[in-house]
Amino acid sequence: MACKAQTVLFKEYVEVGEVPPDNFQLRTIDLPALKDGEVLLELQYLSVDPYMRGRMRNAAGYFVGPFVPGEALSGGGVVVVKESKAPGIEKGKFYSGMVPWTSPQIATKAQMEQMQPVDTDILKLAKLPLSGYAGVFGLTGMTAYASLTRIGKPKKGETVFVSGAAGAVGMIVGQMCKNVYGCKVVGSAGSEDKVEFLTKELGFDAAWNYKTMPTLDALNKFCPEGIDMYYENVGGEQLEAALEKCRENARIVCCGMISQYNKKGDDRYGVKNLANVVFKKIKMEGFLLFQFLPEVVPEFFEHFPKWIAEGKIKDTEYVVKGGLANAGQAFCDMMAGKNKGKAVVKCVDKDPIVGN
């Protein structure tokens, strides 16, 4: 039978500056009755991520097209099957993947085949809630794992600098380098609270607040011998500082440059020492997670749950409650750096795995 659904519509493109909360418009819509071959899904968690900012300007060349004004936003999320008329897809099963910001929503069997079934046994092994599949077991964890194993390739005893280290990907990268590979790890963050989180809770060798201590000064203090790898999440002055401290044959893994996402043209920071890439024989490489899918998935799930269960990687989430009504504000908070760890939107009253 037909039913009502909530959806968040994208209002308009924002080429420069911060995206305001009112650019996310909550609406109630009518859903048609379910047809054969379709399933009815209900959102459990949504992931809000920096890459989404690129889809909020009318620009070609991004790895996925821009959002369409007047239509629903989409992103990573976890859903449960509430009703199924598709063979092989059972009611009550959980899936993760790219989903519209609409709940409930209708999906075809072909769309479901593009999603990852949630393994609740893995969550129980790692003692994580269902939101783990919106973060550490979702795009966030896979991004950290794939980029380090395919590009960064850290080695025991090396020195690694992670910018945006208290963010979703940064905190996992830092812990992997420290606790799995045996590296010295330092990181930058945007508050004293985050610095304490990195050093006292996650075990970073050193961390600093880039707003009060210039990154080059910090690297001179904590890494006087230089760095072997830089994991780039921020861009701008932090990239420039890293290039200055890179040793010969260092690697730079470019995951993101969030400091530049709200800027355009001449307002973007001009890195002045890119010639160091040549002089120091630095390997600097950007990537998109999707280039490593699906080959990385089985390998990822072979290792990652064990690392979490063994305490080598701690998962920290910035959970925004209230579901779709607060999803837009959650995105704005994440872009402003208010999150410590992975930013997720909770769309249910109680987590189905841990019950809170």
- Residue-wise pLDDT for 21-43, tens only, equals 999 999 999 999 999 999 999 99
Range scoring the smallest mean pLDDT among 158-172, 258-272, 324-338:
258-272
Full set of structural domains in the chain with CATH: 3-135+316-346 (3.90.180.10), 139-290 (3.40.50.720)
Q: How far apart are CA 129 and CA 311, in angstroms?
A: 16
- Report the percent of the chain where pLDDT is more than 90: 96
CA 174-177-183 angle, to 5 degrees, is 115
Angle between helices 215-222 and 237-245 in degrees, nearest 10: 30
Cα separation, 111 vs 122, in Å, equals 24
Q: Can you read off the two tokens belonging to residue 24?
A: 């996310």
DSSP 20: P
pLDDT at 264: 86
- Inter-residue contact 267 to 291 (CB < 8 Å): no
Which among 353, 235, 330, 324 has a CA at the least distance from the CA of 284?
Answer: 235
| Distance (Å, whole) CA 76 – CA 72 | 13
The answer to whether the beta carbons of residues 62 and 13 sit under 8 Å apart is no
Burial (CB < 10 A; 0-12, 13-18, 19+), residue 61, is exposed
Q: How confident is the model at residue 89 (pLDDT cuts 50, 70, 90)?
A: very high
The three-state secondary structure class of 318 is: strand
Say whether pLDDT at 61 is over 70. Answer: no
Q: Which two three-digit tokens encode residue 94?
A: 């959980």
Which H or E element spans position 171? Answer: helix 168-175
Cα–Cα dist 84/105, whole Å: 12
Query: Sign (positive/negative) of CA torsion 309, 194, 274, 281?
Result: negative
Residues 6+ apart with CB under 8 A from 349: none
Question: What pLDDT score does 355 carry?
Answer: 85
pLDDT in tens, 95-139: 999 999 999 999 999 999 999 999 999 999 899 999 999 999 999
Q: Reply yes or no on whether the pLDDT at 287 is more than 70.
A: yes
| Pairwise CA distance, residues 77 & 115, whole Å | 10
CB 26 within 8 A of CB 324: yes
What integer best gives the mean pLDDT of the chain?
97
Residue 63: predicted pLDDT: 73
C-alpha count within 13 angstroms, C-beta hemisphere, residue 123: 19
Q: How many CB atoms lie within 10 A of CB 293?
A: 14
Nearest of 145, 132, 84, 134 to residue 111 by alpha carbon? 84
- pLDDT, one tens digit per residue, over 306-320 is 999 999 999 999 999
Rg (CA), the chain: 21
Say what the pLDDT of residue 1 is. 67
Record the pTM: 0.94
Q: What is the mean pLDDT of residues 140-157?
A: 98
CA atoms of 82 and 94, how far apart (whole Å): 10
What is the C-alpha to C-alpha distance for residues 201 and 343, in angstroms, rounded to an integer? 18
Instruction: Tell me if 253 sits within 8 A of 147, measured CB to CB.
Output: yes
277/346 Cα distance (integer angstroms): 43
Report pLDDT for 64.
83
Question: What integer pLDDT is reported at residue 251 of this predicted model?
Answer: 99
**Alpha-carbon gap, residue 356 to 347, rounded angstroms:** 12
The proportion of the chain whose per-residue pLDDT surpasses 70, expressed as a percent, equals 99
Q: Give kind and range of the element (H or E) at residue 254.
A: strand 246-254
Residue type, 255: C
Res 60 pLDDT > 90: no
